[in-house]
Amino acid sequence: MTQTPLSAHGLMPVRPPSEHRPRLDALSAAGIAEFHRLFAAAQPVTTAEFAGLEGDLVMRSFPGSAQRVLGPLMARPSYSWVGKSFRHVDDTVAFGHNVFRLFGGVRGLSFVATVGDSVVDGKSAVRLDYDDSRTGPRSPARGIYDELREIEPGLWLGPSYFVTRGRRISMGWFALDASVEFDSLV
């Protein structure tokens, strides 16, 4: 198998995140209505901040619809979608994967991360592009588009969209917390 820039070589195995996640718990309590304000109030992303997105970062998802049903499930430490992984190739590009607890740890849904204008408000944000040709063969994940801004040191928040027929449909929000440790191997 030919190694691609997005291969997981050197990034496996997946480690589970710690169950102690106070900043992500606080975001969960704040609610989705507060996320718009936090994202808009965050400073535009700089190259130095972008460089801080490196390695495995613990993630929490906040669904846009069905929040009452899916929110508590997604807030559990045992939820299968545990993080995102970033590996910088230079100051302007990072390759990444989503990190799942399934099957003892899986990395999938590759993306290319860059800094650019946000589709939300035009200010600088980290853009996670799943439709970049460098992510490999076409897949249903190609319709995903995410953004991030640092709302506290090491705490990133952003919207997630599904893009179809030129429209962005909100799927909700997600946060990454660099201060949460990944525990021993799954």
Are 100 and 106 spatial neighbours (Cβ–Cβ below 8 Å)?
Answer: yes
Tokens of 120: 């939300």
Q: Helix and strand tally (H, E) in the chain? A: 4, 8
Task: Give per-residue pLDDT as tens, 128-158.
Answer: 998 877 877 666 667 889 999 999 999 999 9
> What is each CA distance from 83 to 16, 87, 151, in whole angstroms?
9, 14, 18
Q: What residue type is 42 in one-letter code? A: A
Domains of the chain, CATH where assigned: 22-177 (2.40.128)
**CA neighbours within 13 Å on the CB side: how many for 59?**
26
d(CA 14, CA 17): 9
Q: Map tokens 């993630």 to a residue.
A: 59
Tell me the pLDDT of the chain (186 aa) as tens digits: 233 344 444 444 455 555 666 888 888 888 888 999 999 999 999 999 999 889 888 888 877 654 454 445 555 555 566 788 899 999 899 999 888 776 566 677 889 999 999 999 999 999 999 887 787 766 666 788 999 999 999 999 999 888 888 888 888 899 999 888 766 433
d(CA 65, CA 150): 24
d(CA 182, CA 21): 11
Q: Would you give the DSSP letter of residue 17?
A: B
- Which pTM does this prediction carry? 0.80
d(CA 90, CA 13): 24
Q: Would you give the DSSP letter of residue 93?
A: -
